[in-house]
């Protein structure tokens, strides 16, 4: 039987239609529009493309975006000042600092300067801590989008063994905690894990979040597993060797069109939620 395709693009389109109605309700009730502010430091083409995509998504649901571009020479203090201005701006409801920033900037300090109520990308230590304790916070956009995708397709999670390959603070680590919160048994691996194939072979659910093209081989994944590929690399490939798996696994995310659209849909969803709370 062919595997179930976890179509993030299709789901994101449905989510955006729902968000457009919520944005229209905010406008009708208050006369104000939710605004996502994006901070882009430097001229990295990929980062500029991602920021543009997020601005386009805002417009699709009727939101506004405020794009702030700073030169590559920006210091940590200058970026912190820009973030502080956005924190204090009552017309800004969500703040996105595009990763990565130039080497001279203390990225963690700048992430953590974002006000919790505007941390719609889920990048602050405070937000991560609250999420891990089951308290109210906006989740990191990519893992939160993956959870939405799995739930939308009724993928069973409780009691399943999930193996997360990757340990980044905005993807692998929060992904593991979200799965744990959904009653999975979770193993966190990474590129230096010994006997990595053996760990992956035990998984009911495999999350590829290691950031290396086709690092996870198809032969490591058992028949019937659920495969979520959070990577994207030139040539339209992810972190997992997906080709040989499509007739063996029970469900998988395509690359592209799986996790990527859900990341943006989650960012926009959380900005709308922030707008609803901050506008009232």
Model confidence at 2, in pLDDT bands (50, 70, 90)? confident
Catalytic residue among 7, 112, 119, 121: 121
- Is the separation of the CB atoms in 98 and 52 below 8 Å? no
Catalytic residue among 7, 98, 160, 239: 98
Q: How far apart are CA 160 and CA 179, in angstroms?
A: 9
- Average pLDDT over the chain reads 97
pLDDT tens-digit readout, 33-57:
999 999 999 988 989 999 999 999 9
Q: Is 106 a catalytic residue?
A: no
Q: What are the distances in angstroms from CA 33 to CA 30, 70, 207, 219, 229?
A: 8, 25, 36, 49, 34
pLDDT tens-digit readout, 92-119:
999 999 999 999 999 999 999 999 999 9
Residues 6 or more apart in contact with residue 257 via CB below 8 angstroms: 7, 8, 9
168 has a pLDDT exceeding 90: yes
The CATH number corresponding to 30-118 among 3.40.50.10860, 3.10.129.10, 3.40.50.720, 3.30.43.10 equals 3.40.50.10860
pLDDT tens-digit readout, 214-232:
999 999 999 999 999 999 9
280 has a pLDDT exceeding 90: no
Answer whether CATH 3.40.50.800 is correct for domain 141-260: no
Residue 280 or 19, more confident: 19
Q: Is 202 a catalytic residue?
A: no
- Is the separation of the CB atoms in 88 and 117 below 8 Å? no
CA atoms within 13 A on the CB side of 7: 8
Q: What are the distances in angstroms from CA 219 to CA 129, 160, 166, 216?
A: 36, 20, 19, 9
Residue 275 backbone dihedrals phi, psi, to 5 degrees: -60, -45
pLDDT tens-digit readout, 129-146:
999 999 999 999 999 999
Q: How far apart are CA 2 and CA 225, in angstroms?
A: 13
Strands 251-252 and 226-229, sheet pairing: parallel
Same fold, 30-118 and 141-260: yes
Catalytic residue among 7, 54, 160, 173: 54
pTM: 0.95
The ranges assigned to domains in the chain are 30-118, 141-260
Dihedral, CA atoms, 189, 194, 200, 201, nearest 10 degrees? Answer: -160
Q: Is 98 a catalytic residue?
A: yes
Q: What are the distances in angstroms from CA 194 to CA 49, 160, 188, 216?
A: 36, 22, 12, 14
């Amino acid at each position: 039987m062919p595997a179930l395709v976890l179509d993030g693009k299709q789901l994101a389109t449905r989510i955006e239609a729902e968000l457009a109605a919520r944005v229209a309700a905010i406008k009708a009730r208050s006369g104000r529009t939710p605004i996502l502010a994006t901070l882009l430091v430097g001229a990295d083409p990929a980062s500029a493309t991602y920021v543009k995509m997020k601005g386009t998504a805002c417009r699709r649901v009727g939101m506004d975006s405020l794009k702030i571009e700073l030169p590559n020479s920006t210091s940590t203090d200058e970026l912190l000042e820009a973030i502080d201005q956005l924190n204090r701006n009552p017309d800004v409801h969500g703040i996105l600092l595009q990763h990565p920033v130039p080497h001279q900037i203390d990225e963690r300090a700048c992430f953590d300067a974002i006000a919790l109520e505007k941390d719609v990308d889920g990048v602050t230590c405070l937000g991560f801590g609250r999420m891990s304790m089951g308290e109210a916070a906006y989740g990191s956009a990519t893992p939160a989008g993956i959870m939405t995708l799995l739930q939308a397709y009724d993928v069973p999670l409780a009691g399943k063994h999930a193996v997360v390959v990757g340990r980044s603070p905005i993807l692998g680590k929060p992904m593991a905690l979200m799965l744990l919160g959904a009653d999975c048994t979770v193993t966190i691996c990474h590129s230096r894990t010994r006997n990595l194939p053996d760990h992956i072979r035990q998984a009911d659910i495999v999350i590829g979040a290691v950031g290396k093209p086709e690092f996870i081989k198809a032969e490591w994944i058992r028949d019937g597993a659920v495969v979520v590929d959070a990577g994207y690399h030139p040539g339209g490939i992810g972190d997992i060797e997906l080709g040989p798996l499509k007739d063996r696994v029970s469900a998988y995310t395509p690359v592209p069109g799986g996790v990527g659209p859900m990341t943006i849909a989650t960012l926009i969803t959380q900005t709308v939620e922030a707008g609803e709370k901050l506008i009232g």
